[in-house]
Amino acid sequence: MLPITPDDTGLDVFGGVDTHQDTHTAAMIDLVGRVLGTEQFPATASGYAALLAWMRGHGRLGRVGVEGTGAYGAGLARLLRDEHVEVIEVDRPDRRTRRFQGKSDPIDAVQAAKAALAGQRTGIPKQRDGRVEALRNLRVARRSAVEQRADTQRQIKTLIVTAPDQLRSQLRGLSTTKLITTCAGLRPDRTDAANPATAVTLALRSLARRHQQLSTEITDLDDLLEPLIATINPGLLAANGVGADTAGQLLVSAGENHGRLASEAAFAMLCGVAPIPASSGKTTRHRLNRGGDRQANAALYRVVLCRLRWDPRTRDYMQRRTKEGLSKKEIIRCLKRYIARELYQIITANDLELAA
């Protein structure tokens, strides 16, 4: 079927884009959802400009739904925002839609355009050109180093379990710090690497030195991260139970343009701490929210644990709700919701004023 051409170039039209690493597929629809056309463009700066020109050629451009605004669609979303085009972040079509309509880039682009037209998705993409984006990049490197260091430490302890008795007795029972220092200082004979006892000593030394290098890398990144977080939002860093790692995660989750969060309930949903209604008939209840940003959820959990240990008000709340019959897990869920409300006020009260 040939694409429908609008009779009036002033007619409102809506766009959708299915993004990939090398190409973006765009689709245009009119006010009643009729497909005006689909086209593929290269995922380059010139391709983004050509895509926008093609969209505007169909009429007065309204909203544009873009998949993957935090990944392959980040460059296109940035250009559209700079050109004052309203961008809506859309998810991929659900399984039911794909089961009936099939799967292709043009189909996904049309579905993104229809989501923008219907207002099914109202998420505003995060901005990727400010200090919070710099914070996110540094945190990616730090998190990778922390995970690798933990893996290295587990590998060291696993090797000790099967090491020769003399070496095992020497290393077993040492604290982690002492263990790493001792293993890094081992002096095995490299010419005897075919001997299992020598090989395990070489492996322990290599892993221990890797652990030390990763620790140095983490410390260097922390020296960059903490001043940056304090500059972005000192109030958040000063909140009870909020450290640099927690504050950094919450700032990244909220995004540079934290005004996209319409309310504290939206922030709670983003962090996966908003209860989900699960009522039916005469039964009224809520269930656990397993969605949202799980790293932000974990950050709020750390704040709860810290306050349960050091904050008298939180401890009193725990005792009161325990007497009411709630379990510890249920109380922690309630506390995460309350803390999300408190921290949302701090995050949104701080005007980044990046343009200043």
For the chain (356 residues), the mean pLDDT of every run of 10, in chain order, is: 47 90 94 92 95 93 88 90 89 64 83 84 75 94 96 96 91 92 92 91 96 97 95 92 94 87 89 82 74 91 95 94 91 93 89 41
CB 40 within 8 A of CB 88: no
Question: What gap in Å lies between CA 318 and CA 336, rounded to an integer?
Answer: 12
Residue 353 has a pLDDT of 44
Residue 261 has a pLDDT of 84
Residue 96 has a pLDDT of 62
Residue 278 has a pLDDT of 73
Residue 260 has a pLDDT of 82
Nearest to 28 by CA among 78, 81, 65: 65
Question: What gap in Å lies between CA 247 and CA 227, rounded to an integer?
Answer: 12
Question: Structure pTM?
Answer: 0.79
* CA quadruple 127, 131, 137, 138: dihedral, nearest 10: -160
Residue 349 has a pLDDT of 84
Strands (E), the chain: 12-19, 23-29, 35-42, 60-67, 87-90, 276-277, 286-287
Residue 2 has a pLDDT of 43
Nearest to 216 by CA among 151, 150, 142, 152: 142
> What region, left, alpha or beta, does residue 292 occupy, with left being phi > 0 and alpha being psi -120 to 50 degrees?
left
CB 62 within 8 A of CB 14: yes
- Bridge partner residues of 88 (DSSP): 65
Residue 354 has a pLDDT of 38
